[in-house]
Chains A and B, each alone.
Chain A
Amino acid sequence: MNKLRASVLMRHEVGLHARPSVKLTKLAKAFQSRIDLGLSPDGPWIDAKSIVKVMATKAPKDSTIYFRAEGGDAKAALDALVTLVDEDFPDGP
């Protein structure tokens, strides 16, 4: 199995809170690939498309978020997610 990986430092003031989590899961759902999220390079991994699970990580400010993705659009998905976190969850169009 060939999984692509990426990581990004989250600087959002209150961590992976409701508003950022909503944005992150919405974006993840826009891709076909299976996308996992973890707070360490070795997991545990959770489904990045599930807000229940993403919020349950209760990731605080200055956490590094790890992603791994598998599927046709895995590269595009990781790029988009890393940009979202890196730019501090800007309001989309």
Chain B
Amino acid sequence: MDHRTHRAAQRIEGRPAAPGIALGPLVRLSAVRHDVRQRRPAAEEHQALVDALTASQEGLSLLAREAGDAEAEAILAFQIALLEDDSLAAPAFAKIAEGEAAHRAWGAAIDPEIASYETAEDPYFRGRASDLRDLRDRVLRHLAGEADQVVPAGVILAADDMPPSTFLATDWREGGLVLRRGSPSSHVAILARSRGVPMIVGADIDRLDDGTDALLDGDAGLLIVDPDQDTRTDYCRRRTEQAEARAAMASFSGPVHTAAGEPVQVMINVTGLAELKTLDPGDVDGIGLMRTEFLFQGRAQLPTEEEQYRIYRSMLEWAGDKPVTIRTLDAGGDKPIAGLTRADDANPFLGIRGVRLSLRHLDVFVAQLRALARAAVAGNLKVMIPMVTVPEELDRCRVLFAQTCDQLRREGIEAKMPPLGMMVEVPAAALTIEDFNANFFSIGSNDLIQYVAAASRDEPELAELTRPSRAVFGLIGHVVKYANRAGREASLCGGMAGDPAQVAALLDQGLRTFSVAPGALGPVKAAIARYTGPAA
């Protein structure tokens, strides 16, 4: 018997985060562990750093040739120019000559540069710190003999965690993602569902070998390493079936009614223009949530008013006369933005995020309000404010918005104040919803659930607590019923809205506007069409 070709399949269980099936080789993304290096004689250490710098430069040049978008090219050109500048590494070579190990010498040379950007007054310059950190780590990886983390397309990636910017920079194709940390409602998971990348979280990835064949089942939350031929055939068939089912679901287009004939609005959640390219505005009732934080993440500089204006206006033009609900920057929590959010926040989810951050960075906030007020002229724009806790926060935003419109008109620029609504995700706001001067309400169920349950959505072991509970449905019902009485719109744009299993319970609460990831449009509309009325 030949045991080498009959390694037993290994099953690793996690939690489903984005549905679908991926088949391919495993690639581990590891954190930099440069301290395992041994120090060698100075001449060898010198050569090691020279080689690492050269290899890093070659790696970056290769990436730059394949970048394909101006933003990525600019970051890479900056990093390449830094490596070409001898004055960056000069202090490192001096330290090596004094007997320091190459990796520590390189850190000592570049860390003060990183620190000087981190403390810069201008947010654009503060944002550069992340480019330098990335450059530092790239060189350290080469020094430690680790390959560049250039991810081939169509693989199954395993990592401890992944920032959204890395996810966006990866060519997923038929690939998938396995994380040890993270949760189904993290931003990476939201992106994965929106782009159809199968993903699981909470998986033990310690004993995985690079290059091993694996099969990722995003529906069951399962990773099978070295699957046998039968399993493989079975999953290939299921993948084909799912693709066909998705195509059939997607054909569930146009307006939707419950089985009793009541109309229900189904809108989409988006992060940018890219997702709209493949969508027909006729299939949706509008954009229920545009998350603007993705315009701010993983880039060389914060987006200018002009750039934001062009993107917002393009969305309004895409939607025609249908509503486009744009949420102002919701940074903080699990969405850090270099140069804007605080890295030292002890508890980011209870810290300075959403409107709390915007009201502390008025330059950034007003630039966004100006872009929104200008875009409002072009279509049916609605603007909502995230993380509102007390009525005064929304009142301040309303005053700022009105002042911004006045200022634009004084400058001779056409501007319009759109309806201003709020996200309902803090329990204090949900409980006192009648106190808020909001034109509309949008319930953010992901944050609402974790704040109601006092359980982190990033803690895999607390998954049971972060399921929608009676307490959560009670708050949702309270908000929806008040909104219906007051003649204002209430929608739900969190993950619950996109889960066909929750649709009936939400309709029971009186909810008639859903906003879901584009991939969930078909299944959610199908669930609405099956709804016959409140359970007896």
Chain A min CB distance to B502 (Å): 44
Q: Is the CB of B82 within 8 A of A56?
A: no
Q: Is the CB of A19 within 8 A of B78?
A: yes
Q: Is the CB of A52 within 8 A of B301?
A: no
Which of B75, B121, B122, B300 has most chain A Cβ within 10 Å? B122
Q: Mark B444-470, 1 if CB is under 8 A from A, else 0.
A: 000000000000000000000000000
Chain A residues whose CB sits within 8 angstroms of the CB of B84 once the complex forms: 51
Within 8 A of B (CB), among A34-93: 47, 49-53, 55-56, 58, 60
Q: Is the CB of B122 within 8 A of A19?
A: no
Q: A52-B87, A56-B116 are in contact. Are A17 and B81 (CB under 8 A)?
A: no
| Bound-complex Cα distance A6 to B74 (A) | 28
| Bound-complex Cα distance A15 to B304 (A) | 13
| Bound-complex Cα distance A15 to B124 (A) | 9
Q: Is the CB of A22 within 8 A of B78?
A: yes
Chain B residues whose CB sits within 8 angstroms of the CB of A56 once the complex forms: 113, 116
Within 8 A of B (CB), among A1-43: 13-15, 17-19, 21-22, 25-26
Chain B residues whose CB sits within 8 angstroms of the CB of A26 once the complex forms: 81
Asked whether any CB of chain A lies closer than 8 Å to the CB of B88, the reply is yes
Q: Is the CB of B82 within 8 A of A52?
A: yes
Q: Is the CB of A52 within 8 A of B300?
A: no
Chain A residues whose CB sits within 8 angstroms of the CB of B113 once the complex forms: 52, 56
Other-chain residue from B75, B85, B121, B122 in contact with A50 (beta carbon distance below 8 A): B85
Q: Mark B104-132, 1 if CB is under 8 A from A, else 0.
A: 00000000010010001110110010010
Other-chain residue from B75, B85, B88, B121 in contact with A18 (beta carbon distance below 8 A): B75
Chain A residues whose CB sits within 8 angstroms of the CB of B78 once the complex forms: 18-19, 21-22, 51
| Bound-complex Cα distance A61 to B122 (A) | 11
Q: Is the CB of B128 within 8 A of A55?
A: yes
Q: A18-B300, A19-B78 are in contact. Are A51 and B85 (CB under 8 A)?
A: yes
Asked whether any CB of chain A lies closer than 8 Å to the CB of B94, the reply is no
Asked whether any CB of chain A lies closer than 8 Å to the CB of B77, the reply is yes
| Bound-complex Cα distance A82 to B301 (A) | 24
| Bound-complex Cα distance A14 to B75 (A) | 15
Other-chain residue from A17, A50, A51, A53 in contact with B125 (beta carbon distance below 8 A): A17
Which of B78, B121, B131 has most chain A Cβ within 10 Å? B78
Chain B min CB distance to A37 (Å): 14
Q: Is the CB of A60 within 8 A of B82?
A: no
| Bound-complex Cα distance A52 to B125 (A) | 13
Residues of A within 8 A of B (CB): 13-15, 17-19, 21-22, 25-26, 47, 49-53, 55-56, 58, 60
State the 8 A-B residue pairs at the shortest beta-carbon distance, nearest first: A18-B78, A51-B81, A22-B81, A50-B87, A14-B124, A52-B88, A51-B85, A19-B74
Beyond the given A26-B81, A52-B82, A56-B116, please list 9 additional residue pairs across the A-B interface where CB-CB is below 8 A.
A13-B304, A15-B124, A18-B74, A19-B300, A22-B81, A51-B78, A51-B85, A52-B113, A55-B128
A sample of 13 inter-chain contacts (CB < 8 A) reads A14-B301, A18-B78, A18-B301, A19-B74, A19-B77, A22-B74, A47-B87, A49-B85, A51-B78, A52-B82, A52-B88, A55-B125, A56-B113
